[in-house]
Amino acid sequence: MPAPELSAAEKTASLIHALWERNLPQLRERLDLLDQAAAQAKTGTLGDDTRIEAAAIAHKLAGSLGMFGYKDGTTIARDLEILFNEAKASNMAAQAPTLTTNLRTTLSLN
């Protein structure tokens, strides 16, 4: 008996899952950089280059996580992008570590 044909939705879900798995190493690297930037913000040692890179990474994540079904991840990444673009040290020190932890939790990548 031949295997049943997958529906278009099942094929799409399978392709998205494969794409997610293939991009996990890069995603983990991006999350690590966000963690580092958040830790530096908390200690007051965040430089502009790292802050700008963190904002760019958060922007990329905000634009892509929704495609993988992580709407909450998109929202958190957008909040991080705004936070790192504002460049207000007090806001970053207080909020960035919590947001990066929440992002990892939302993506189940703790």
- Cα angle at 52 between 63 and 68, to 5 degrees? 20
Nearest to 84, CA basis, from 43, 38, 42, 39: 38
**Residue at 63: amino acid letter:** G
Cβ neighbours, 10 Å, residue 67: 11
pLDDT of residue 1: 64
Q: Any idea where the domains of the chain sit in the sequence?
A: 9-106
pLDDT of residue 11: 86
Per residue in 1-42, pLDDT (tens digit) is 666 787 888 888 888 889 999 999 999 999 999 999 999 999
pLDDT of residue 8: 85
Contact 102, 82 (CB under 8 A): no
DSSP state of 70: -
Per residue in 46-97, pLDDT (tens digit) is 999 999 999 999 999 999 999 899 999 999 999 999 999 987 777 888 899 9
- Tokens in use for 1? 């008996």
Looking up tokens 């922007």 gives 59
CATH architecture of 9-106: Up-down Bundle (1.20)
